[in-house]
Every structure is written in structure tokens, then in C-alpha cells.
Amino acid sequence: MSKPHDEPSAQIQLIPATPEQEPILANLLELYLHDFSEFLDIALEADGRFHYANLPLYWSQQDRYPFLVEVNGKWAGLVLVKRGSEITGDVPAWDMAEFFVTRRCRRRGVGTQIAHQVWKRFPGPWKVRVMQSNVPAYNFWSRTIGSFTRQPIQPVHIEKNGTFWNLFSFESK
């Protein structure tokens, strides 16, 4: 099996998603929610799907931006960016609402490259939240944000509605 890190010329792209691509995003969100169900009590609905209720908002509300991730011409993930932090309510800040890379492309630099592209595309203050129980995500974001800012960023620990979060705050210039 060919792996992105085995190919020095891997084509990693962040593609703004169109309304016609909403079904692709919805399918990728099912995989993401399946992975996330390990850390959060979310259950399948009667039709056997998780359903991401806020997806349609990415085409009907300002300051929401959906993206697909492609590696060598194949779908490899998604990114949902919005204005306003889910945790702090900080409206001017950009929020990494959802970020998902398929298992095939994890630990190969894809996520780091995509996150850096997103932050360059949306300059300004950023908030990236990670559930404290999600240690792999914490390690990823700590490393990825540090490599972007060129300095270690210590998160603030926050509790909201009974869930404990690590909240990274930084500036993209």
C-alpha cells in the first residue's frame, strides 16, 4: 500500500467544499464521529448513522468555511472552520470546529500540512480545543501549533457543560 510519507511528492490539497460536495463531507463526518465516539458519548441514530446536524450551516451562515482534504487525488479528510470559539465565545477568534484525517493518512504529516494551510488562509486569533481525554489529539495539536508558531503553546484547561478541554490560543499572521 502506498503511503503519503513514502512519496516525497505527495499532493496534499485543502479544497473549499461546494454545496454539491456536502454528501462527501457528510460521509467523512460519519467516519470522524465514529472515531470521536471513543471520547464523547454519542450514539448512532435509528438509521445507523451519527449525523452532523450543523453541516448545512456551512452553506447558509457567514463565517463558516467547509473544506475537503485530498491526498494524491483521493479524499483524505475534512476541515470545518468558523468564526467564534465554541468554548470561550470569543467572536473575533477563528475556531477549528472539526478536523479529520482518515486513518490511512495519519502520522504522515498530512494533518500538520493541512492545519498550517488553514491557519495561513485565515490570519488572526485562533482557538483550538481538544478534549482532555483525547491524548492523541492533544499531542497532535500541541506539536502542530508549536511548529506553526515556532514556540511551544501551553493550553488553558477549561470545563464547559461537564466536559474538560485543553484550549490552545495563538495568532496566525
Residue 162 lies in a domain: yes
pLDDT of residue 44: 64
- Band (20; pLDDT cuts 50, 70, 90): very high
Name the residue type at position 65: Y
Residue 2 lies in a domain: no
Residue 156 lies in a domain: yes
At residue 111, the 3 state secondary structure works out as helix
At residue 68, the 3 state secondary structure works out as strand
> Which whole number is the average pLDDT over 49-68?
89
Residue 39 lies in a domain: yes
CATH of the domain at 34: 3.40.630.30
**Residue 7 scores a pLDDT above 60:** no
Residue 4 lies in a domain: no
pLDDT of residue 32: 80
By the 10 Å C-beta count (0-12 exposed, 13-18 middle, 19+ buried), 46 is classed as: exposed
What is the maximum alpha-carbon separation in the chain?
46
Q: Burial code of 56-80, b = ≥16 C-beta within 10 A, e = fewer?
A: eebeeeeebbbbbbbbeeebbbbbb
Distance CA 107, CA 158 (A): 27
Which tens digit of pLDDT belongs to each residue from 120-148?
999 999 999 998 988 999 999 999 999 99
Residue 5 lies in a domain: no
Domain count, the chain: 1
Which tens digit of pLDDT belongs to each residue from 96-118?
999 999 878 777 889 899 999 99
Select the more confidently predicted residue: 40 or 91. Answer: 91
Residue 34: in which H helix or E strand, if any? helix 22-36
- Band (8; pLDDT cuts 50, 70, 90): low
pLDDT of residue 112: 94
- Band (31; pLDDT cuts 50, 70, 90): confident
Distance CA 159, CA 88 (A): 10
> 12: closest CA among 59, 71, 58, 63?
71
Residue 1 lies in a domain: no
pLDDT of residue 2: 43
Can you say how many angstroms the Cα of residue 60 is from the centroid of all Cα atoms in its chain?
20
Beta carbons within 10 angstroms of residue 155's beta carbon: 18
Structural domain boundaries enclosing 120: 11-172
At residue 160, the 3 state secondary structure works out as strand
What's the chain's average pLDDT? 87
Residue 3 lies in a domain: no
